[in-house]
Amino acid sequence: MGMDRELQQKTEQKYSIDDENEIVEWIVSVLMWDQGKGFQEWLKSGKVLCQLMNVLSPGSCRAQETAHISSKERNNICLFLKAAESYGVGKVDSFQTIDLYESRDLAQVQVTMYKLGSAAQKKNFTGPVIGVKVAEKNVRRFDDKLKKEGQNIIGLQQMGTNQVASQRGMTPYGLGRQMVTKI
């Protein structure tokens, strides 16, 4: 109805055909085989997703053989999602089984695939990649001498040069004071 329809339309607007094509090309090139179905139909059984995870991380996702049995297909998608999470895809970046299986939010499926590609790059996957490489942690360690040198720097407020910016004259509601010069 009203609100549900609006939310559905917003979700559909996020979906990108260009992203779909890029993701499909990436999966096909990683698995080195041809697909002949649409994006959702092709991934719905979860077997392709598990095969993809097994190429990225061997033995991480054991798909059940399906003869279009709904529970096994959903289970395969769940197995993929668990394997992707242990591979490095954040839980917040993952889609839900229903998003793919019932075509509820295919845009989120695309986000998950891009995040999986980013995780593969971070783990130095040598095959084709998709998405942006995730930055590595850059821990900085300062010795005590350098920390003490930083204490010698005097901030502007301590020097008394920050006289222009103040909260003097502000009302309790955060409104700025009126800057009127007296003539």
DSSP state of 173: T
Q: Please give the C-alpha separations between residue 147 and each of 33, 79, 141, 177, in angstroms, as whole numbers.
A: 57, 49, 10, 40
Distance (Å, rounded) from C-alpha 57 to C-alpha 15?
28
What pLDDT is recorded for position 114? 92
Give the residue from 111, 152, 107 showing the smallest Cα distance to 132: 111
**84 or 35, which is more confident?**
84
* Prediction pTM value: 0.64
> Per-residue pLDDT tens for 115-161?
999 999 999 988 888 888 888 888 888 899 888 887 777 665 555 55
Q: Which residues contact 111 (CB under 8 A, 6 or more apart)?
A: 93, 95
Determine the topology of domain 2-122 in CATH: Actin-binding Protein, T-fimbrin; domain 1 (1.10.418)
> Per-residue pLDDT tens for 33-61?
655 567 788 888 888 899 999 999 998 88
What residue spans define the domains of the chain?
2-122
